[in-house]
A and B are shown apart, each in its own frame.
Chain A
Amino acid sequence: MIELGKSSLIIGLICGVTSLSFYGLNIKQQRNWFTYARISYALMTIAILLSAAALMILLLKHQFQVQYVYENSSRDLPLFYLISAFWAGQEGSFLLWTLLSAGVGIPLIFMTQIYDNEDKVLFNYLLIEVALILITIKSSPFKTFSQTPLDGAGLNDLLQNLWMVIHPPLIFLGYALYGTLYALAIAALWKGQYEEWVRPALPWTLMAWLALGIGIMLGGVWSYKTLGWGGYWAWDPVENASLIPWLTGTALFHGMILQLQRRRMQRTNFLLAIISFLLILYGTFLTRSGILANFSVHSFTNLEFDSIVLGLIAFFLLYGGYFYSSHSRQIPISKSSIAILSKEFSVIIVIGLLIISSSFVFMGTSSPILTGLLGKASNVTADFYNTTHIPIGILLAVFIGICPLVNWQRTTKKQLLRQLLVPLLLALVITALAIKAGSKNPVALLFIFASCFAIFSNAVLMLKSRLRKRVSWSSSLSHMGFGFLVIGIIVSSLFDDSKTVNLAENHPVEIHNYRFTFKGVHVSPDGRNQMVIELQQKKSISVATPTMYYSKRNEGVMAEPYVYRTLLEDIYISPLEYQPGIPRGVYRLIKGTPEQIGNYVFTFMRFRFPPVSSPMHGMMIEAEIQVVKTGAQKSAPHVIRPRFVAMSLPTEQKPVTLQNGEISLRILQVNADPPGSIVVSIEGIADEAVRQNVPAQLLVEISRKPLINFLWLGMVCIVVGGLIAVRRRIGELK
């Protein structure tokens, strides 16, 4: 299987180069080499598929001598996650990218046949594909150990989640589709089809944008539901790496629509298509190389392929730059003037804002590199992104709101004012309501106003186009989605109300109009500790179960939040720390900390490990405890040494009695974690001094996230609108 995987990749490379050569010959000689080129392409795809199948079988059959299988799976992993282990690591995800790229090329061949540009498009596309195969061979998932480990290290617990199973394939499908844009743009420059390329390229752009967008959104959902810090977006380099090309992709398809409608943006569109793909490569470089290792929590570790990826970026940059610069003079540009009150003006502004936004994110994400070149490597905080996106966000919402109210070419002031009336009024009403509800933050109010305006103006358009049975309402839906998204982001983050509280078992605490009662720990079938918390609001009671568990792979306690969802707000419960309860007469002694109990002061000094007569008896631990009697019958310090046998039950531990026989002490638990502590039961203390039962305690962060559902609603609207647009634009090709 390992050999099959490796050799298939080599065969795939050979077939890819062959196909590339035949397409090249076809361009040069004007002879028909298509059949050979297509057959080689098909063979390449089959070879990569075989290689991927080999890796999948190795994973399913637990072949731990393969490093990748060892690092990303284990025997106890359910089938579902075993499959997803394929793209859990770097090497596997590159193989997936290569495979998806090869697959995407097949419909590309069929489409470009119709447009009579197959050889040039596929020639360029194969350059990318061959590069991907090369990377996969270089950072191969088929490397082996000399010995076979018994079990794998397992899949990262954080990735054992439905969202994380589907998130990477979508991201890589997006990456693969961005490759087609590059190929289509270069081929169009090559062939001089400066206007004709846009119609066939538009559905590809929309699909690329949609796949990457859904991928990014799922990543946000995962972050919100699993990571427990209450957010869905952290401006982390790994997130930004996908966001930057997504923003330029958004700008690109708007530019393409403008070119189709008004013959504008010809040059910009070529540049955007080329740059978007380069940004994908750049993002890959940023996140997969070690360069940001000190700045990102979840950037991948360095493999020695930085230079390969850098070389590829340089190649595709120079290659694309050559084609653009040598043809840019021939690209027609529109000389007609643009009216301010027109749709084309609004769209141009929106494209400009998207480019500015992507530049800012690019600048922030690259800051360690940029500043490292000038001197000291520095990073920007999330505030940089948040601050710069305040004006961008507000302006975007305003122009998205104006867009549906104006005609493509020109609209008179009178027409606009009449159209403006309803959405403006409704937006004002909502903003007034927000002020009345107590929000005073001017930025928040501006955002609310602008995004309500965008929502209502697009809603009016959508209603009209539905009534008139006009087809185009997908964009209105997506634009409304943008408005919802912004409201969700602004309201849920600016009015986020977060409190850290200690919940003692069975002691209700009232927060955010809810009564929270910690009911103890319930061990779920998968061995994770569920913290059972009762939530009571008026008369309705529900149960929240945030979880905490020890992850062997991550060597630490993992906490998974619980989100109690209601229509208007989420109650986000994130467990932070759990302290088990201590029954009556039981004490925790921390190393070096004197503890006064009754008339005695106990100080746990240190652990000792006396030799054991036979290893069969398990490990013996001795605790040295200094005991001093205080008060009237003051005594000199006295040392006792109770023992604890690690492998037997606490009830079998022998008690140690103090010299005078007054008290006896027994170790129940030993905790070696620094500073070290023991749990002991002490008998013989005067009744009134005995420590009462200490309830178990759970430290949680409880936050209220108002209107967070608008965020999800916005995402769904954008995606549904995008899907409808894809269907329509594909239909237009026929």
Chain B
Amino acid sequence: MKRRYLIGGVIILAFILFGMRTFMRHITPYVSIAEARRVHKTVQVSGLLGVNKGTYDPQTHSLRFILTDKHGDSLLVTYRGVKPANFDNATSVVVIGKYDSGVFKAKKLLLKCPSKYKDRTL
């Protein structure tokens, strides 16, 4: 009976360790631009898009734009993939990816659009 509890405990412990390890491995911290430059890991950076919405090359499907965070740092971001439909209307963006030799290579973009309909004052 004792042995059985022991085996059960070991299995549960193994699951917990496995979960924690996977958790640590796939976590992408939310960082500032300065920090994204420093750590060469997959991170998320949130920031504002400039008035100049960047350039998009339809031939290669690559998007380049400048992201500015609240500390005033800016970062050149490249994204390979089709330009998201509402990109031109987006003001703030969350980019998920890695900083590598001067450019932030985004794997994923999350866009936030200022919806004029949310303006309750009319």
Contact = CB atoms under 8 A, between A and B. Distances in A.
Contact of B22 (A377, A378, A384): A384
B23 A337 contact: no
Contact of B85 (A367, A377, A388, A556): A556
B27 A380 contact: yes
A683 interface: no
Contacts of B46: 294
B70 interface: no
Interface stretch (B71-79, B98-106, B114-122): B114-122
A36 interface: no
A384 B30 contact: no
B47 to A, nearest CB: 11
Interface in A127-164: 145, 147, 149, 153
Contact of A359 (B19, B42, B115): B19
A388 B117 contact: no
Given A556-B89, A558-B85, A379 B30 contact: yes
A62 to B, nearest CB: 16
Contact of A301 (B42, B61, B89, B118): B118
B118 A379 contact: no
Contacts of B27: 367, 371, 378-380, 384
Interface residues of B, number: 39
Interface string B74-102: 00000000111110110000101000000
Nearest to A558: B85
Contact of B117 (A378, A553, A673): A553
A388 B122 contact: no
A557 interface: yes
Contacts of A295: 94
A376 B43 CA distance: 11
B58 A71 contact: no
Contacts of B26: 380-381, 383-384, 387
Interface string A317-339: 00000000000000000000100
Contacts, number: 99
B28 A555 contact: no
Contact of A556 (B86, B96, B110, B118): B86
Interface string A350-377: 0010001001100110011001000011
Contacts of B83: 577
Given A337-B1, A558-B85, A379 B28 contact: yes
A576 B55 CA distance: 17
B44 A71 contact: no
B52 A674 contact: yes
Contacts of A383: 26
Q: Is the interface of B mostly helix, strand, loop or mixed?
A: mixed
A500 B55 CA distance: 21
B95 to A, nearest CB: 12
B111 to A, nearest CB: 8
Nearest to A360: B19
A418 to B, nearest CB: 26
Contacts of B53: 674
A516 to B, nearest CB: 18
Given A367-B23, A555-B115, A699 B18 contact: no
Given A359-B19, A363-B19, A579 B85 contact: no
Contacts of B96: 381
Interface string B19-43: 1001101111111000000000010
B117 A577 contact: no
Interface in A544-588: 553-559, 576-577, 579
A391 B82 contact: no
A297 interface: yes
Interface band, chain A: 35 or more
Nearest to B35: A376
A675 interface: yes
A284 interface: no
Contacts of A376: 29-31
Contacts of A673: 88
A70 B122 CA distance: 11
A657 interface: no
Given A294-B46, A555-B113, A674 B29 contact: no
B28 A579 contact: no
Given A555-B113, A673-B88, A699 B19 contact: no
B62 to A, nearest CB: 13
A67 interface: yes
A391 B122 contact: no
A336 to B, nearest CB: 11
26 contacts: A145-B120, A145-B122, A294-B94, A295-B94, A297-B110, A356-B15, A359-B19, A360-B19, A376-B29, A377-B30, A378-B30, A379-B28, A380-B26, A384-B23, A384-B25, A384-B27, A387-B22, A388-B18, A388-B19, A555-B115, A556-B84, A556-B88, A558-B85, A559-B85, A577-B82, A699-B82
Given A295-B94, A556-B88, 7 more contacts: A377-B30, A378-B27, A378-B28, A384-B22, A391-B18, A558-B85, A577-B58
